[in-house]
Structure 1
Amino acid sequence: MTGHQGSLRPSVKCKLVHGASSSRATCAKNTSSKDSSLMLTISDDDEALRAKCEAAMTDFDYNLAVVALREKIFTLSSEAREHKANLDRMMLESKKWVCYQVSLSTLESKVASLKVEKTRLEAVEASLRQEFDDVKCDRMEVASKTKVKDYLPSYKKEHTKAGNDLATATFPFLSEDVVDPLASIEALLSKKPATLQRPALSRNQAPVPSSQKDTSFSALVSKPMSHPPVVSSAKL
């Protein structure tokens, strides 16, 4: 409160003194021919005016309305400073929130792009799975069409039986001596048909010399042997 009073009083006094000086200069200029008694009277009037101004300023300083107004101004100044501090803090938080919003928008954009990429990869994976299944089905179909039934391990018995049937059809004498169609080759070869047995010599027949045997054997070897017809297992 004293600061406000000190700030108001000097300005008013200076104004009054300046006005008195101007008045005194004007009077001196207009009444330069008057005597010194008149100047003394003006000086006394100036002192009286100064006293009146000081009394008026004292009344002004202690006026209740002025005091209340100054207190209100001081309170409003404090509130204004508080409001400015709050505003600065809110502006700072607003800037931070703007940064957060930008970061959040960037993150949402990245998440959206990742979702799109995930959808694309899932579609590619589904396409690859479909192609793999198609290739697998094609291979199974080709294998089922090209596989030989008689040579598969699961059809070993059928293959052996088909071979025996082929041998029986080629060599009819085997069917008379072989009971088990799954017998081994040694068992089949051990059976010697009557046509392959050596004929017994009669009493009237003389033994053939060895030279004639060699000649007849070489003639048999040189003569081409006709192969029996091969019966397909598919027909069997």
Structure 2
Amino acid sequence: MTPTKAGRLIPAGLPVLSAVPVLAGAARAAELAGGAAILPDGARFHADPVPVMLHIVGVTVYSVLGAFQFAPGFRRRRPAWHRAAGRVLVPCGLLAALTGLWMTLFSDLPADDTGLLTVFRLAAGTAMAGSLALGFAAILRRDVARHRAWMIRAYALGMGAGTQAVLFAVWYAATGGDAHTVARALLHGLAWGINLAVAEWAIRRTAPGQPVGGADQPFGGVKGSAADS
């Protein structure tokens, strides 16, 4: 596969990947609203539903809206929409990351959700929030290249759940059983690692000297002033 084809397939696949956290969030929201049976390990969310509902809202908006920021044709045709969407995505991404960190630290987690998996979740959530903050700071300085890079990394971390679902499906197909505690943690960590590796490839495939600003960039370029980010 040529780099050009790969560069087109990755944005095209993002809406599919984003469907995993969106559908999972919808199922959890229906459970909390009383419209569905309690999912496995769902009792802890009923005890403190506010963080998980805020997390679902943040993840849903960030996943769906963010996927379109990486479609070059869509960005070129609708630059104003692209910049407006960026203003929504940063707070939604921060909401998703910070509520995820809150639940990791303060929820009553089951035994197989602690230990190494907690470390990975704290690292991913912190890195996502930090990437969003750095990306926002970069666009205020009109540094579009760094803004682009940090926003790609933030979205890659936010889409960890989609890649995790794929890896767990492969694990189940290969072994016929659920992953044990350590394997489960490692599969989560591997998913975030894969997403970050793809993100770094996407960042570096822009040739040196190639224009990186304007509407053809994820999460908006600068037009007129830093406030247009």
> TM tier, shorter chain?
under 0.3
Q: State the TM-score, normalized to the length of structure 2.
A: 0.21
